[in-house]
Chain A
Amino acid sequence: MSDEQLTPALARSRLREALSWRSGTGTVISTVLLAALGFAAAIQIAAPDDVLDRASRADLIQILDGLGTRAESLEEEVTRLEEARAELIAGAGDSEAAQAEAEDRLNTLGILAGTLPALGPGVELGVSDPGGVVDGSSMLSTIQELRDAGAEAMQVSGAPERQVRVVASTAFTDSATGEVVVGGVSLGPPYTITAVGDPATLSKALGIPGGAVATMESAGASVSIRESDELVVDALHQPTEPSYARPAVPEDADAVG
């Protein structure tokens, strides 16, 4: 092996000689073997790299353990998420009901506050007042009687083509020119009061002797009462944001229904 006569030049010439075009049985077999080597190396390198192939048995057991643990925890998570999903579905039903309730409440309050148009049976009170005897207080008395009789939504209309929704804060005053000022809007005769409520009760309340209607009639105004199955109260009240009052949050807010 450690041949001292070997020089790099000699080695190179031998290499050149080896790489020359020689043929023979040995060459053929060597060629086949080398082709097989190249082929095997190439497909081995091209083969998809699988970590598991090279893992030892202990590693594989550890990996399997890890997978088992992970599968368990994933299954737990699936259970947890399914429970959460069921809860959410149930909760969605609850919140739908709550929303429907809130919408109902909104409609009720809107009608009460005069921010929504109202529709329903009721009475229409026509007051023609050629003599100008109807003033704010008689109008207010009429409205009070209607309220007492259970009117749920009311509006007052008068010349010229104005109508005012009557809400809790609506004031009835007199203007200097003799008109009735309802909620800040001057109305002139003839007046029409539209009230949604039970028509029979309302007309009966208005017909009480000595009541507001009788007083107006005795003063010289003529009043007509018409019961109707379908009246529209579509004048809207613009609520103002309260400057001082703010909601007192009750401790059991949920119980306030």
Chain B
Amino acid sequence: MIPVIGLVIGIVLGVALNVSVPTSLEPYLPIAVVAALDALLGAGRATLEGVFDDRVFVVSFVSNVLLATLIVFLGNQLGVGAQLTTAVIVVLGIRIFTNAAAMRRLLLGA
């Protein structure tokens, strides 16, 4: 429950503080957010399957975000940033859908 409250507090802070995204982070933040969402849904699925582990979640969360950011950074350096961003988004999107579908099956049996 406490992590959920943390999520809500983060959202409220982000909306309330009206911080603008630093220019250097601008290309990476959306990717990082999507990667974190993927980790979050993976955690949700693991919870429902009874195999959730704090350590795994934290590691997967951080590594997901770092890896996605790194790939996009690399792509930007290579001049294919836009394409790699799309690739990462597609892969993460597929994973998110898969995890969400698994959770749906687990929770609703359908």
A residues lining the B interface (CB < 8 Å): 1, 3, 6-8, 10-12, 14-15, 18-44, 46-48, 53-54, 56-57
Contact = CB atoms under 8 A, between A and B. Distances in A.
Interface of B is mostly: helix
A8 B107 contact: yes
Interface of B: 1-15, 17-21, 26-27, 29-30, 32-33, 36-37, 40, 47-50, 52-55, 57-58, 61-62, 79, 82, 102, 106-109
Contacts of B11: 38-39, 41-42
A14 B13 contact: no
Contact of A29 (B10, B13, B54, B82): B54
Given A30-B57, A38-B14, A41-B33, A21 B1 contact: yes
Contacts of B37: 37
Interface of A is mostly: helix
Nearest to B83: A56
B49 A39 contact: no
A32 B47 CA distance: 19
A26 B58 contact: yes
A47 to B, nearest CB: 5
A43 B1 contact: no
Most buried by A among B2, B9, B19, B82: B2
A39 B16 CA distance: 10
